[in-house]
Amino acid sequence: MATKKQRRRRAKLQRHEYEYVVETEEGEEVVVEPPRSARASGAESGQKKLPPGAVVDRRGRVIQKPSWGRVLKRGAIFGPLLLLLMFALGGNLSTGAKIVQAVFMLLIFLPMSYLTDLFIYRSVQKRQGGTTGR
């Protein structure tokens, strides 16, 4: 059988909301208000302050609106990788043909990447009950 101290600790961990508790000399628990800094920062609820109108996924991460700037950065990362892939797997194609093929693949990848971001953003926004405007 668990000791009284272990039972108190287990009961404290199983509470749904974290409470600030102080034990008296007799062993009774008294609920105390949290300090001001914890209340102001939202630490008692465990949530960070979010900008108004932010779209948040199930994990609590903010989903940013899709932008061509982020898509172009992604393309700058994958462009050289696609070019290396073309040189490694291109076979007996000329260098110019390999470069053209990598550029063609990027022209397909970039809009698809933007549409994927847009699809994810709108689906999370719908789940939250927001509007579907761009």
How far is the first Cα of the chain from the last one, in angstroms, to the nearest whole number? 60
pLDDT in tens, 85-94: 999 998 888 9
Tell me the range of 1-10, 21-30, 59-68, 94-103 where mean pLDDT is highest: 94-103
pLDDT of residue 30: 76
Structure confidence at residue 26 as a pLDDT band (50, 70, 90): confident
Domain ranges of the chain: 4-41, 55-128
pTM: 0.57
Asked if the model's pLDDT at residue 37 lies above 60, the reply is: no
Mean of pLDDT values over 88-106: 92
Asked if the model's pLDDT at residue 44 lies above 50, the reply is: no
The mean pLDDT of the chain is: 81
CA distances from 47 to 12, 55, 132 (A): 20, 14, 25
pLDDT of residue 39: 47
Strands 29-32 and 20-23: antiparallel
In the 8-state DSSP scheme, what is residue 43? Answer: T
- Report the share of the chain in percent with pLDDT over 70: 79
- What token pair was written down for 10? 């287990």
